Amino acid sequence: MSVGSKELAPVELDTFEDERLVEELKKAKEELFNLRFQSATGQLESHGRLRAVKRDIARIYTVIRERELGIRATPVAAEVPATKKKSTKKAAADEAPADETAEEASK
């Protein structure tokens, strides 16, 4: 998916998890910086691209804020099936100090 395109619709942003939204926001801000730099040096070919990227940034910020306020639902992450943990000596050794500190605290 390209930033600043019609593919970045609010409906599609609803399906993104929070980490992906932050990632898309970083990409869009980086692209905006590059476009502004090109504009300042006279190398910018498509001025409409600036507007599209600014709108994408605003869309992402809107979705993030609406999720914070509870207006929009956060997508549910696909749960990984639980697997049985194998008992190892290292796991037992890691648990032992925690048990000892709990006993010492209760004294």
Per the domain annotation, does 107 fall within a domain?
A: no
Per the domain annotation, does 56 fall within a domain?
A: yes
Per the domain annotation, does 50 fall within a domain?
A: yes
Tens of pLDDT, residue by residue over 20-65, are 999 999 999 999 999 999 999 999 999 999 999 999 999 999 999 9
Nearest one of 75, 65, 64, 54 to 3, comparing CA atoms: 54
Contact 53, 32 (CB under 8 A): yes
Checking if the pLDDT of 11 tops 70, the result is yes
Per the domain annotation, does 67 fall within a domain?
A: yes
Per the domain annotation, does 72 fall within a domain?
A: yes
**Chain-centre distance for alpha carbon 70:** 17
Between 50 and 81, where is the model more confident?
A: 50
CA atoms within 13 A on the CB side of 19: 2
Q: Whole domain around residue 14: which residue ranges?
A: 1-77
**What is the pTM for the complete model shown?**
0.65
Task: CATH number of the domain at 64, please.
Answer: 1.10.287.310
Domain count, the chain: 1
Per the domain annotation, does 100 fall within a domain?
A: no
